Structure 1
């Protein structure tokens, strides 16, 4: 499936919502997780179809939860600072095009180190990478 402009926009919004305080490389890493889910080959009902489907799958990326403080920005109720969003768009473009390699080593999950405790799924998963405030994992049961 060829990514659409909607896929790119939703991916960029997700990167801003999930990793706006991270470096460009940190946003690329989150985008790689999403690309790994898009390309995983699992039943699409699990991950979602395409970039937009994966990003918007309920409860997968907290920035899209209606009670998340980022949601008003993602829904358009509040404005995202243009320079911040431009960085997220650039990361989205480079990851979708394949110009950026997978720096996460196949991760399909991550969590922020700012969480009070690691999520239960991380206990039996394989850590692949750490960057900024995110730890990345694959082989999540």
Structure 2
């Protein structure tokens, strides 16, 4: 599947909403969790189809929840600051093109360390990376 301009835009918006406080490497890692879901190998993936489908899957990326403070920016009712969005677009481009390798080791999940405790889905999952304020996992039961 060839990514579209909409895929790029939704991925970059997701990176801004989920990881704008991270370095470029941190945003790339978050983008790889999304790409790993896109490329899960199933014809009709539970995660959704394409980057936009994966990012917009209900309750998977909290920045897209309508009650999330990021949502007005992501849906366009407020403007995303250009400088921060440019980095998110760069991370999206690097991951979508394959120019950056997968630093997450195949992760399909992550959580922010700013949460009061680790989510229950981490039990039995394999941690693959801790970078910035995110911890990445694969093989989530």
Name the TM-score class by shorter chain. Answer: over 0.9
Alignment match, 1:125: 125
State the shift of 1:44 in Å: 3.0
Deviation per CA, 1:53-107: give whole Å up to 9, x if none.
0000000000000000100100111111101000000000010000010000000
Alignment match, 2:57: 57
Q: Distance in 2 between matches of 1:135 and 1:45?
A: 24
Alignment match, 1:20: 20
- SS of aligned partner of 1:77: coil
More helix, by proportion = 1
Q: 1:109 to 1:43 in 2, by over 3 A?
A: farther
- What CA RMSD, in Å, does the superposition of the two structures yield over aligned residues? 0.8
Alignment match, 2:75: 75
Alignment match, 2:100: 100
Q: Distance in 2 between matches of 1:28 and 1:9?
A: 15
Matched, 1:140 2:127: no
Q: Distance in 2 between matches of 1:122 and 1:34?
A: 17
Alignment match, 1:38: 38
Q: Matched residue pairs, number?
A: 141
- SS of aligned partner of 1:95: helix
Shift >4 Å, 4+ stretches: none
TM-score by length of 2: 0.98
Q: Distance in 1 between matches of 2:112 and 2:120?
A: 13
Q: Distance in 2 between matches of 1:3 and 1:34?
A: 13
TM-score by length of 1: 0.98
State the shift of 1:123 in Å: 1.1
